[in-house]
Amino acid sequence: MSTASGPVQTQAPVVGLFTGQHVLAEFAGIDASLLDDELFLRRTLEHVLDQAGATVCDVSSKQFEPQGVTVLALLSESHASIHTYPEIGALFVDVFTCGDRARPELAVRLLAEALGAATVQTKTIHRGWETS
């Protein structure tokens, strides 16, 4: 298409921003039975991610013997994971979301509350390009 002043320039719509937050956390002081309950952990992770504005595409998990569970959530915004250690009442959490719609720090806080964690240590890494 052109006008009297020349061709009309169109821009492709912005699908996503090359920016994100990666929250790494360790929780301790959690009831061992919760950390070995695969179904509870799957449902809880999916629920807190939803509450934090993330779009969950799929959830996969693995129950280990004699104990422990890993849960992975594929998000439209990226991913989340938990890796449990029931024998010491602890777990690792990793939530990475691209863009600025989802709130990974909120997801981690809600997960800590749902599990009744006595101690929570978090570190947030800002990734990609800064947005204004």
Predicted structure pTM score = 0.86
Residue 28 CA to residue 116 CA, distance in Å, equals 9
Query: 130: pLDDT confidence band, cut at 50, 70 and 90?
Result: confident
Residue 13 DSSP class: P
* Catalytically annotated residue among 5, 22, 98, 126: 98
Q: CB of 35 within 8 A of CB of 89?
A: yes
pLDDT per position as a tens digit, 111-128:
999 999 999 999 999 999
Q: CB of 78 within 8 A of CB of 21?
A: no
pLDDT per position as a tens digit, 53-102:
999 999 999 999 999 999 999 999 999 999 999 999 999 999 999 998 99
Task: Tell me if residue 83 is catalytic.
Answer: yes
Per the DSSP assignment, residues forming a β-bridge with 75 are 56
Give all domains of the chain, ordered by start, each with its CATH number. Answer: 19-120 (3.60.90.10)
* Catalytically annotated residue among 5, 78, 79, 81: 78
Of residues 12 and 63, more confidence is placed in: 63
